[in-house]
């Protein structure tokens, strides 16, 4: 039957007869008893200051659930479909914790979310009271997985891993280029993420032969970066390292472009905009050659590119929130498949023993230690030819690093 | 760090940023001066105006400065209608009721923006967004210089409106003694709504001047509204001159404070000034209403 055409009496009869035959002969289980669905709490900050990231995160999780259900659900549980129960943490830890209670009352088998570290610390604690499995999608703060909670699992890397990887990669990139960068200027936002990142950078970079000229902390939000850029101009660093959120990242890099600041490279650690297709699309000149150590996908995997295309088809940017949440749900689905149960103990044990390797990320072998996937790691990206390319690790790279960067056009 | 080559450009940056604060505070101070309303919806109305500028540019290609021809009248109509149909209609009673109404309007507007526009940050890239003007002692961004000039022009225009027109005289009469104004035949409810409308029209103009150098998101109002309240209190509630001088002073304090004490701690300087003014000159620098 063509789409949009009306069914005739004959086609209805044919379908009914075929259905009856299947029910009695071929697929008795399928038509007689549909397996109960498995409720999954999809908890993100879809309103409040993190609403953009929360919305992106929710989209990624729902795309995974849709794919799993379309592929037959959880087969070891009779093809049970995943049923997302949506929750909004409103960008507040206390609301996130209250939503965990609501989801637990509703009988969810597990929770996926909640994007921000501060919210994750509250929601994992709340879920732990019920031994409710909680897969943390992003929440990079180390405390998320260092409190001995046996219900908490993070497939993606934490901030310490990311910063150390970022420093190690920077040294390699600089060495390979003949060590053009000797001095560094750090600009970071004032919350735990930026402050901790700057602290580690200040401790580790001098050991690697870099001189940190200045470290400037700024508020969230910052309305104007002109003065910070004046200080960068006066200090004349070889390398600028920003660690801040998207809005401030864009303002900073645009002010750099406006004031025609010449540095040999901009190398971000978890840069808010550096690994953002939105930033690259809207401000290609400001974004050109920016390097970033961040969550990223494996550009060699067809599944990753298919998900990117699917995301863009929905009118969304393929941001790390999307693919990390997609991945978190897939990891949970694999654990459900192996646990053959939705009981909390069984599912927690299955999540903890996971060696799942069908992800779309540039990670090493999956192995969980105290709730953290030790195979997780970030990638180094660079904006090249108005696209975001992986430049390190080499085995995942899709572009060749350009460093030092060519002088900015005036 | 404290060399003149940095201090002077930093002070000029502060002045230009302060002009933006002043523009946003102008409407707030007018609304307070006449209606005695602390308008918590001011930031959200600014956000709505910024979205207006954004969509005019993105969908119709209207230049942000040209968009003033649309946004200023639209802001006036929206403000007039809001006062007549929502705030004025529910106002009778205690002042706290009005605070809650404006807070409610703010929450509704913010969440409508999240619903319709998502939480995403939006920016525009005009041909002059990155233009710089060489003032000899410093390179200054062109949109910021335009903002500074516009703040001076708008303050003068509002001052002229209030001091030299019949509408201005009526606004001053209502601000000073609403019951007396009603007795001499002034339509007080209309003047209240006109004042709210003019205050919101100022936000329309501020949004047109702000978007070429900033971004818009559903929560962008919060970035400016606290500063705008500080400017109004510093300058004297209800004073246009106070809003202008207060805005410039806050801008320079923020800029130089950030340079000397660190960008993050520099924000504290603003609120130290705020506390000092409350302690030693509670009526603000230009304390009389609608001066």
β-bridge pairing A82-88 and A38-44: parallel
Tokens of A222: 């910052």
Q: Which residues of B touch A259 (CB under 8 A)?
A: 132, 139
Q: Is residue B253 part of a domain?
A: no
Q: Is residue B8 part of a domain?
A: no
A409 or A376: whose pLDDT is higher?
A376
Separation of alpha carbons A129 and A124, rounded Å: 9
Select from A55, A190, A247 the Cβ nearest to the Cβ of B264.
A190
- Name the percent of chain A lying above pLDDT 70: 91
Residues A392, A170: contact at Cβ < 8 Å? no
Asked if residue A235 has pLDDT above 50, the reply is yes
Of A95, A113, A93, A188, the residue nearest A154 (C-alpha): A113
The shares of helix, strand and coil residues in chain B, as percent rounded to the nearest 5, are 75, 5, 20
Separation of alpha carbons A187 and A195, rounded Å: 10
β-bridge pairing A379-384 and A291-294: antiparallel
**Which of B123, B261, B268 to substitute to test the interface with A, most A CBs within 10 Å?**
B123
pLDDT score at A30: 43
Residues A185, A239: contact at Cβ < 8 Å? yes
Q: Is residue B228 part of a domain?
A: no
Among A189-193, A328-332, B229-233, the minimum mean pLDDT is found in A189-193
β-bridge pairing A211-218 and A291-294: unpaired
**Residue spans of alpha helices (H) in A129-276:** 159-176, 192-204, 226-235, 246-258
- Domain extent for B62: 24-219
Q: What is the ipTM of this complex?
A: 0.82
Q: Which residues of B touch A (CB under 8 A)?
A: 1, 3, 5-6, 9-10, 13, 17, 111, 114, 118-121, 123, 125, 129-130, 132, 139, 141, 214-215, 217-219, 223-224, 227, 255, 258-259, 262-264, 267
pLDDT score at B2: 67
Tokens of B44: 């959200």
Count structural domains, chain B. 1
Contacts of B128 (CB under 8 A, 6+ apart): B142, B143, B212
pLDDT score at A260: 86
pLDDT (tens digit per residue) in B83-97: 999 888 876 666 677
Residue A230 forms contact with B (CB below 8 Å) = yes
Select from B114, B129, B263 the Cβ nearest to the Cβ of A51.
B114
Asked if residue B289 has pLDDT above 60, the reply is no
Q: Is residue B14 part of a domain?
A: no
Residue A234 forms contact with B (CB below 8 Å) = yes
Helix axes A51-70, A302-313, angle to 10 degrees: 120
**pLDDT-derived band at A394, boundaries 50, 70, 90:** confident
Q: Is residue B260 part of a domain?
A: no
Chain B residue closest to A284 (CA)? B125
Of B259, B238, B195, the residue nearest B7 (C-alpha): B259
Of B291, B195, B200, the residue nearest B246 (C-alpha): B291
pLDDT score at A34: 60
Question: How big is the A-B interface in CB pairs under 8 Å?
Answer: 90
Triad A52, A288, B64: Cα angle to 5°: 60
pLDDT (mean) for A254-264: 90
Q: Are the beta carbons of A247 and B13 separated by less than 8 Å?
A: no
Single pTM value for the model: 0.81
pLDDT (tens digit per residue) in B170-194: 999 998 888 999 999 999 999 999 9
pLDDT (tens digit per residue) in B101-118: 899 999 999 989 988 988
Question: Can you say how many angstroms the Cα of residue B44 is from the centroid of all Cα atoms in its chain?
Answer: 11
Q: Is residue B174 part of a domain?
A: yes
Q: Which residues of B touch A234 (CB under 8 A)?
A: 1, 3, 5-6
Of A409, A406, A403, A335, the residue nearest A368 (C-alpha): A335
pLDDT (tens digit per residue) in A170-191: 999 999 999 999 999 999 988 7
pLDDT (tens digit per residue) in B251-279: 999 888 888 887 767 778 888 888 888 88
Separation of alpha carbons B173 and B170, rounded Å: 5
Query: What letter does residue B285 receive in the DSSP assignment?
Result: T
Q: Is residue B282 part of a domain?
A: no
pLDDT score at B176: 87
Asked if residue A250 has pLDDT above 60, the reply is yes
Q: Is residue B265 part of a domain?
A: no
């Amino acid at each position: 039957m063509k789409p949009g055409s009306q069914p005739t009496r004959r086609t209805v009869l044919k379908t009914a007869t075929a259905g009856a035959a299947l029910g009695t002969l071929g697929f008795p289980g399928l038509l007689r008893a549909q397996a109960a669905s498995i409720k999954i709490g999809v908890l993100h900050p879809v309103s409040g200051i993190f609403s953009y990231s929360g919305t992106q995160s929710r989209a990624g999780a729902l795309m995974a659930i849709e794919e799993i259900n379309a592929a037959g659900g959880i087969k070891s549980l009779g093809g049970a479909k995943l049923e997302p129960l949506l929750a909004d943490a409103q960008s507040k830890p206390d609301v996130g914790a209250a939503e965990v209670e609501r989801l637990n009352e509703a009988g969810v088998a597990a929770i996926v979310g909640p994007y921000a570290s501060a919210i994750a610390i509250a929601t994992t604690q709340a879920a732990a009271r019920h031994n409710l499995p909680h897969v943390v999608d992003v929440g990079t703060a180390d405390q998320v997985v260092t409190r001995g909670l046996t219900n908490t699992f993070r497939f993606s890397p934490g901030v310490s891993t990311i910063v150390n990887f970022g420093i190690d990669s920077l040294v390699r990139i600089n060495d390979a280029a003949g060590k053009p960068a000797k001095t560094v200027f750090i600009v970071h936002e004032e919350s735990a993420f930026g402050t901790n990142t700057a602290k580690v950078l200040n401790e580790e970079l001098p050991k690697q032969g870099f001189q940190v000229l200045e470290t400037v902390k700024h508020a969230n939000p910052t309305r104007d970066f002109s003065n910070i850029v004046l200080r960068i101009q006066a200090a004349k660093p070889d390398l600028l390292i920003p660690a801040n959120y998207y809005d401030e990242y864009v303002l900073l890099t645009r002010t750099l472009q406006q004031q025609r600041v010449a540095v040999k490279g901009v190398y971000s650690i978890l840069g808010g905009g550096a690994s953002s297709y939105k930033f690259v699309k809207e401000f290609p000149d400001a974004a050109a050659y920016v390097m970033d150590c961040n969550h990223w996908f494996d550009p060699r995997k067809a599944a990753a590119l298919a998900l990117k295309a699917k995301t863009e088809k929905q009118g969304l940017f393929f941001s790390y929130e999307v693919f990390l949440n997609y991945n978190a749900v897939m990891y949970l689905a694999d654990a459900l498949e192996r646990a053959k149960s939705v009981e909390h103990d069984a599912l927690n044990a299955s999540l903890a023993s996971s060696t799942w390797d069908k992800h779309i990320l540039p990670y090493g072998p999956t192995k969980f230690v105290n709730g953290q996937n030790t195979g997780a790691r970030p990638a180094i990206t660079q904006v090249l030819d108005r696209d975001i390319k992986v430049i390190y690790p080499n085995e995942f790279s899709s572009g060749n690093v350009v460093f030092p960067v060519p002088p900015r056009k005036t | 760090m404290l060399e003149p080559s940095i201090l002077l450009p930093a002070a000029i940056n502060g002045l230009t940023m302060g002009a933006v604060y002043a523009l946003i505070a102008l409407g707030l101070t007018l609304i307070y001066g006449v209606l005695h309303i602390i308008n918590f919806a001011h930031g959200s109305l600014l956000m709505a105006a910024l979205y207006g500028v954004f969509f005019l540019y993105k969908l119709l290609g209207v230049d942000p400065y040209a968009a003033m021809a649309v946004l200023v009248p639209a802001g006036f109509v929206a403000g007039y209608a809001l006062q007549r149909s929502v705030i004025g209609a529910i106002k009778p009673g205690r002042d706290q009721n009005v605070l809650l109404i404006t807070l409610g309007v703010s929450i509704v507007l913010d969440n409508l923006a999240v619903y319709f526009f998502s939480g995403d940050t939006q920016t525009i890239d005009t041909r002059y967004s990155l233009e710089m003007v060489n003032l000899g002692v410093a390179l200054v961004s062109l949109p910021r210089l335009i903002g500074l000039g516009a703040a001076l022009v708008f303050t003068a225009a509002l001052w002229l409106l209030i001091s030299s027109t019949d509408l201005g005289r009526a606004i001053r009469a209502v601000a000073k003694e609403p019951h007396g104004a009603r007795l001499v035949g002034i339509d007080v409810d209309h003047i209240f709504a006109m004042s709210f409308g003019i205050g919101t029209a100022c936000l329309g103009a501020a949004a047109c001047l702000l978007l070429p150098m900033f971004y818009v998101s559903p929560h962008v109002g919060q970035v400016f509204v606290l500063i705008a309240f500080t400017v109004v209190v510093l300058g004297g509630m209800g004073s246009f001159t106070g809003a202008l001088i207060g805005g410039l002073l806050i801008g320079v304090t923020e800029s130089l404070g950030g340079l000397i004490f660190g960008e993050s701690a520099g924000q504290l300087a603003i609120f130290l000034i705020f506390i000092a003014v409350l302690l030693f000159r509670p009526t603000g620098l230009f304390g009389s209403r609608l001066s």
